[in-house]
Amino acid sequence: MPDQQGHRVGGDPVRWERGEDRPVTWTTLDNAVVDDDLSCRALGLLTRWLRRPPGAEIDSIPDMVKRAKRAGQTNLEGRDALYAASYELETAGYLVRELVGAGRGQHEWVVRIYNRPVEPSRRSDPAERKRGTRKRSGAKPQVIPITGFQESADQEADSPDSAGPEPADQELSYKNSVNDSLSGTGRPTGDGSEQDERETARPEDNPAGDVDRVVSAYEAAAGRSVMPRTAARLRKDAAELLAAGRPVEWVAARAAEMPANGWLDLIAHCEVSRVPIPGQAGPVGVAGPGGGRGEPDEATRAAMAAILARGSGL
Give the model confidence (pLDDT) of 255-290 as tens digits.
Answer: 999 888 888 889 888 888 888 888 765 544 444 444
At residue 90 the predicted structure's pLDDT band, cuts being 50, 70 and 90, is very high
Query: Which H helix or E strand runs over 235?
Result: helix 228-243
Which residues form the domain of 250? 165-311
247 and 288 assigned to the same domain? yes
The answer to whether 165 touches 141, Cβ cutoff 8 Å, is: no
148 and 38 assigned to the same domain? yes
153 and 172 assigned to the same domain? no
Query: How many angstroms separate the CA atoms of 98 and 282, rounded?
Result: 37
Three-state secondary structure call for residue 112: strand
Average pLDDT over residues 222-227: 85
Instruction: Give the pLDDT confidence score for residue 287 in this predicted structure.
Output: 44
pLDDT, one tens digit per residue, over 22-35 is 777 778 888 888 88
Q: Model's pTM, two decimal places?
A: 0.39
Query: How many angstroms separate the CA atoms of 267 and 67, rounded?
Result: 43
Domain presence at residue 11: no
Domain presence at residue 20: no
Comparing C-alpha atoms, which of 108, 162, 140 is closest to residue 274? 140
Query: How many angstroms separate the CA atoms of 216 and 292, rounded?
Result: 27
> Higher-confidence residue: 20 or 227?
227
> Higher-confidence residue: 208 or 8?
208
DSSP strand E in 224-277: where? none
Comparing C-alpha atoms, which of 250, 278, 283, 254 is closest to residue 268? 254
CA distances from 153 to 41, 134, 150, 158, 217 (A): 20, 10, 9, 10, 35
246 and 157 assigned to the same domain? no
Instruction: Give the pLDDT confidence score for residue 8 in this predicted structure.
Output: 58
Comparing C-alpha atoms, which of 130, 36, 133, 27 is closest to residue 83? 130
User: Has residue 198 got a pLDDT over 70?
Assistant: no
Domain presence at residue 17: no
Comparing C-alpha atoms, which of 101, 126, 98, 103 is closest to residue 114? 98
Instruction: Give the pLDDT confidence score for residue 38 in this predicted structure.
Output: 93
Comparing C-alpha atoms, which of 168, 149, 142 is closest to residue 265? 168
Domain presence at residue 48: yes
At residue 141 the predicted structure's pLDDT band, cuts being 50, 70 and 90, is very low
117 and 203 assigned to the same domain? no
Phi, psi of 90 (to 5 degrees): -70, -45
Domain presence at residue 7: no
Question: Domain tally for the chain?
Answer: 2
Query: How many angstroms separate the CA atoms of 143 and 121, rounded?
Result: 31
199 and 151 assigned to the same domain? no
Average pLDDT over residues 139-146: 45
